[in-house]
Amino acid sequence: MINYITLGTNDLDRAGKFYDELLAVVGGKRALTTDRSVGWVGPKGAPMLMIMKPFDGKPATPGNGSMVALTASSPEQVAAIHAKALALGGTDEGAPGPRGEGAFHCGYFRDLDGNKFNAFFMKR
């Protein structure tokens, strides 16, 4: 249903390096680079994640209420994604751990431009 997600950035090089390392934790690879954008692909069928300088030339800002969830294969991978984001300069928005009735495990963080993410694992 979702083909790709685009997030704004004010520093394409800095954000590109952040996501190169962060998305490698879940098998993401850079697939597209232009003078205004960078995109990563993951496992077959997963949406592409793109970062882009805003087309209108105004500064990029994080969306209020917007969040991107990255699929993790285990609670341990949730912790690894969260830890990598913080090591790369991201900020903590909620430590990894079980949520709700324990059906899912997640950790929240923000990237270098303030975009909110959730590393997410659901028990099935």
Q: Provide the CATH number for the domain around residue 39.
A: 3.10.180.10
**Domain containing 94: what range?**
4-54+66-122
What was the pLDDT predicted at 101?
Answer: 82
Residue 60: inside a domain: no
pLDDT tens-digit series, residues 4-21: 999 999 999 999 999 999
Residue 59: inside a domain: no
pLDDT tens-digit series, residues 52-69: 999 999 999 998 889 999
Residue 121 near residue 75 (C-beta atoms within 8 A): yes
Number of domains in the chain: 1
pLDDT tens-digit series, residues 87-102: 999 999 999 999 988 7
